[in-house]
């Protein structure tokens, strides 16, 4: 496995976690919990974004491993 595909795996896991937390958020009746989960999802989003930019850099460096 190349570094690129490893990072892609982590990004995919994080996306899965984000989806689960979004489902949680929609079921919460206490607004505190909803806010916490929504904020968490935003943070996760930015983390995913920065990792995806890193993946793009890696794909530039190793074009032979481009794509999934």
Partner 1 sequence: MPEWSIILLRVIGVLFLTLLLVRMPGRKSLSRLSPFELISVLVIGFTAALWSLNLIGDLLTIIIALAVWVLIPQIFSILSLKSKKFRDIYRGQETILVHQGKVLEEKLLREKLSPEDLLSMLRSNRVFNFADIEMAVLEPDGELNLLLRKEQQPLTPHSIGIPMLQEQAPQTVLIDGNIMEEKLAALGLNRHWLLTELIKLGVAVENVFMGQVDSAGQLYLDLFDDQIKVPQPTIKEMTRATLNKCQADLELFSLSSRADSAKKVYSDAARDIKNISTGLESLLSR
User: ∠ CA(21), CA(27), CA(31), 5° rounding?
Assistant: 90
| CB 29, min distance to partner 1, A | 5
Contact positions with partner 1 (CB under 8 A) in 18-37: 20-21, 23-24, 26-30, 32-33, 36-37
Residue choice 7, 22, 59, 65 for contact with partner 1 (CB under 8 A): 7
Nearer to partner 1, 31 or 64 (CB): 31
What tokens were used for 6?
A: 């490893």
Count of other CB atoms within 10 angstroms of residue 25: 17
């Amino acid at each position: 496995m190349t570094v690129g595909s490893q990072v892609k795996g982590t990004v995919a896991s994080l996306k899965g976690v984000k989806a689960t937390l979004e489902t949680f958020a929609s079921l919460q009746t206490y607004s505190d919990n909803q806010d916490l989960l929504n904020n968490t999802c935003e943070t996760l989003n930015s983390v995913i974004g920065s990792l995806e930019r890193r993946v793009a850099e890696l794909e530039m460096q190793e074009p032979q491993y481009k794509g999934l």
